[in-house]
Chains A and B, each alone.
Chain A
Amino acid sequence: MARKFSLHIWVSLLLAFGLAAGGCAQQSGPAAPPGGAPPAQGSAPKGGEFRINMSTEPDTIDPNRANFTTSILVASQVFEGLLTYDKDLKLVPGVTREVPSVANGGISSDGKTYTFKLRSGLKWSDGKPLTAKDFVFTIKRSLDPKLAAPYANTLYDIQGAEAYNTALGTKDARKEASDAQLAALREAVAVTAPDDGTLMVKLANPRPSFLQLMALWVAWPVREDIVTQFGEKWTEPPNYIGNGAFVLARWAHNERLEFTPNPNYHGQKPNLDKLVFLMISDANQAYLAYVNGELEATAVPDANTKLVMADTSLANQTVRYNELVIFGFEFNAKSPPFDSAKVRHAFAMGVDRNALIEKVAQGVGKVAYSPVPPGMPGHDASVGKEFDFNPAKAKQLLAEAGYSDPTKLPKITFSFTDTSSNRIRAEFFQGQMKQNLGVEVTLDPLDSRTYQQRFNAGQFQMVYGGWGADYPDPDNFVPELFKTGSGNNHTNYSNPQVDVQAKACQSETDEAKRLAACAQAQKLVVGDQPWVFLFYRERFWLLKPSIKGFQVTAKDQLPGNRFYNQLYVQK
């Protein structure tokens, strides 16, 4: 066993250093497919542990203050919101008895009042009762300007929410508010608990995707007495009291987090004895740890992808799935020559997306032509096909835009965050532009914070970027990225027709009409090509055959993290 793996690793090392190419034939190992259907509750073997690499220390594990994947990941094991998702990313009840709808009286006919009915007998992990009052506290806490929750604005649809959270103004327009004024604003946030089992939320305006927002971490319940008593230290075990499937048993900072089952969880209690998240930031090292039996699951580094696919034993341990993430090139529509739609179209047709996936990404990723990814409402595979690879047409479009001689184009600077994988993609793009269009592109690799600052300030010509869904609804894609003046529209793109449809996509209460508006907005956007939509991200992982009950969704923080309570180990 040892020799076999070391041979394998040597080859992968050589590959990584670019000294050798080709696969590595090996004798086949046990060929059990990973995952498999979860068994009925109670029948799965109990015990065992599951170790997976989360790469880095989370910046916080306070659910209401979470901004990054790692924070949400940890909190997702320990907390459960009003609503949660099934494996197809459909909203299902979390601590509520049912998903509110107009039909069941949970949503008022004007779409502005939401009533959540909680399950009875809910408990925190320390055994204390969990009530609607905890959610009132949590939502107001998330909106507290002094907490400074990065996702607070996802709650702004609630009456009084924006006024409270923005009471201190902005950098350019500072405001001051006394404690009494803040308390009054907090009081005015329209979230109430008429009784322990009922939570009522009043919105300022109808927001059809509001239920999705209530499934986000800003609304996961935290307990008032705990956060008051322990302050910043409330996230250290054993203070980190939640209501989810697991409890945090140990946190060795910058090294590991260990979870054990929560005996008071209302849903399916975990089969595992222990769930472990490790913080190995070197991707190749994590891969070696998996090979050496120190992890039950790992991401496959780019350089090893082909090797794993060719390896009969490892190929049977792979887990591949698409995510709700789009990557592409983004143009600054105010920066010549990209103020011309024809030039943008020419660039879009000058890139061979299939070559990008096959040659650069080692076959991992799914070619894209439009922003909304497969696996969520609003995806339309037929949109944008006209911008497929077509160098002849692309050159013709450049000529029509006045650049029959491509060397006459203004200097084009292509900025990106300097990581090894981005660098390869940027160089590929540079080569494609040179080869297919005769256009010179200057690469501008930047460290991530510098890149983000320039990007957010619109100080760029063209960048390599992406967007991932916070929740599976098209209103998190098209209006968020392409509506004029929207917080995440950094391309200076503006199309009044898109704005009309995008607004309807956010606020139309007739669901069919709303989705039609989202679709129409997406079509218009794709026609303008403010981005060249390149590919939807795909995850390529390895999972030990002994781990069963593994279930991924298109919006996981780590593969399968929504359903770790269903995992079990088959000896």
Chain B
Amino acid sequence: MFVLRRVLWLGPVLLSVSFITFVLMHLVPGGPWDSDKTLPPAVIENLNRRYGLDQPYWQQYLSFLARALQGDLGLSFIRQNQTVSEILLQGLPVTASLAVLALVLALVTGLTLGVVAAFRQNTWVDYLCVAFATLGASTPSFVLGILLVLTLALGLKVVPTSGWGQPQHLVLPALTLTALPAAYIARITRSSMLDVIHQDYVRTARAKGLAEQVVILRHVLRNALIPVLTVAGPIGAHLAAGSFVIETLFAVPGVGRLFVQSVLARDYGLIMGATLFYTVIISLANLAVDILYAVVDPRIRY
């Protein structure tokens, strides 16, 4: 029931997002046919008609909605021989494979570092983990990306500098993508673990004579995971939407580049498509987190 309600809410959310996006993108100065070489007015009219931009705005918006309901997001101007849906569907598996890889890596390293740091609080191990987390959170991805290219690609020659199509192409963008969320997750895990460790029920568990592993895994970690889950949702959504910086740097043909490219080119079709796509991803990620809350925390029921 809860899930159904949330999914139904997606409708009004998408409607308002699409309306706001439509209004904003037409308010921005400059249009898709403005270029350094000026096109004659008749040629511009031909282009406008081809893409339905000759109609009044309200009509353009309504026909967009009508088509979108049938799964047709319209045509792109920067990739004229493809539909917006085709473009998004081509980029999606690319971005998704990177996102899954980066999320798994981030969770594994982040949780490990956080747990280790919490149980070795105020030792050099803790300081090392905190140092890593601070560094990871504060290094811009383009700097980290370049450093990885210099060391792994040009220095050690183990991976190519950029590109897509083979498994080794995943390494650099995935590592670059992982750093920030891993650092974030490590910090959250550490502080949340420290909170939980000092709770009465943990003391009780220890007093009952439970083995330390059982205390950590069953009693501490499970409760400490809730704040981690809260951030993992947005992180996952963020990764799934793709990163403009990283996809551009490593020439990855994902959806992350499309978003910025479409805005810069005033590619109205692609802007609408990419925004709605992003909205769906964020909503679903948040929903997934809410469902997982119930799994992790028995106190939460829907």
Contact = CB atoms under 8 A, between A and B. Distances in A.
B47 to A, nearest CB: 4
A408 B74 CA distance: 53
Contacts of A288: 149-150, 153-154, 161-162
A13 interface: yes
Contact of B50 (A62, A146, A152): A146
Interface string B254-271: 000100000011100000
Given A288-B149, A291-B154, A453-B34, A171 B48 contact: yes
A148 B34 contact: no
B46 A449 contact: no
Interface string B59-95: 0000000000000000001111110000100110000
A149 B160 CA distance: 39
Interface in B258-297: 264-266
Interface string B131-170: 0000000000000001001110111110011111100000
B203 interface: no
A450 B150 contact: no
A150 interface: yes
A278 interface: yes
| Most chain B beta-carbon contacts within 10 A, residue among A3, A169, A170 | A170
Given A6-B150, A253-B82, A289-B162, A67 B35 contact: yes
B81 A60 contact: yes
B165 to A, nearest CB: 7
Interface string A154-170: 00000000000110111
A150 B154 contact: no
B29 interface: yes
A456 B38 CA distance: 7
Interface residues of A, number: 67
Contacts of B47: 148, 150
Nearest to A5: B154
30 contacts: A2-B157, A10-B150, A60-B81, A67-B39, A146-B46, A146-B49, A148-B43, A148-B49, A149-B43, A150-B47, A152-B46, A153-B39, A232-B81, A254-B91, A255-B163, A255-B164, A280-B251, A282-B162, A282-B248, A285-B161, A285-B162, A294-B162, A294-B163, A448-B30, A448-B264, A450-B28, A450-B30, A451-B30, A452-B30, A488-B38
A292 B150 contact: no
Contacts of B49: 145-146, 148, 168
B31 interface: yes
A308 interface: no
Q: Nearest 8 CB-CB pairs, A to B?
A: A449-B30, A254-B253, A452-B34, A148-B46, A170-B41, A166-B42, A60-B80, A453-B30
A278 B162 CA distance: 10
B46 A165 contact: yes
Interface residues of B, number: 57
Contacts of A456: 34, 38
B34 A449 contact: yes
Contact of B251 (A282, A454, A488): A282
A165 B49 CA distance: 13
Given A448-B264, A466-B36, A59 B77 contact: yes
A454 B248 CA distance: 28
Nearest to A457: B34
Given A5-B154, A447-B264, A449-B264, A281 B248 contact: yes
A57 B45 contact: no
Contact of A13 (B30, B150, B162): B150
A451 B78 CA distance: 18
B37 interface: yes
